[in-house]
Amino acid sequence: MADLAPDRIILATTPATALEQSLNRRTEHNIHVYSVQSGQDISFHIGELQREWSLERSVEAGAAGLAMLGLILGAFASPAFLIIPIIIVGFALAHSVWRYRPDFTRLPKQGLRTQREIDAEIFAMRFMRGELSYLPSSTDRALIADRAIAATSAYTAHE
């Protein structure tokens, strides 16, 4: 039997939510905005994207912070607080073994994007900057932006 990751199954079977469409529009908007910018401006934006916190990174940092807080409170306040890091480690183990993920539907509402979405925008920006060998020779910036969006969509569908 094929080993299918649950997130791939969900992505393949569920229609895009309004939030996902909003994040895609944000990426497309950025592509169109930067299609008329200089290579230096695009490079600056790529740097911003590389520093952007992804949904996964935010969850990991939050879990680590809660676990640390639980350890500190367990050591200095009451051993009952040690249940916090035990629960967090349990979720981490469940994720690594069974690919279980708690429902984080509130986090994307804060404007957080997945690392895949951030990588897709970086890919499009590099495409427009001319870094990729298959950049079209056309000087029409709008056409390049449209091709970057198409390439980004193909990139995220392939992942």
pLDDT tens, position by position, 69-106: 999 999 999 999 999 999 999 988 888 888 776 666 66
pLDDT attached to residue 49: 94
Pair (100, 141) in one structural domain? no
Q: What total of structural domains would you count in the chain?
A: 2
Query: Mean pLDDT, to the nearest integer, of 152-158?
Result: 63
Pair (76, 99) in one structural domain? yes
Q: Which residue has the higher pLDDT, 17 or 95?
A: 95
* Residue 107, domain extent: 54-112
- pTM of structure: 0.66
* Other Cβ atoms within 10 Å of 137 Cβ, number: 4
Pair (48, 67) in one structural domain? no
pLDDT attached to residue 72: 97
On whether residue 45 sits in a domain, the answer given is yes
Query: Mean pLDDT, to the nearest integer, of 106-114?
Result: 69
Pair (64, 100) in one structural domain? yes
CA distance 65 to 72: 11
Pair (103, 125) in one structural domain? no
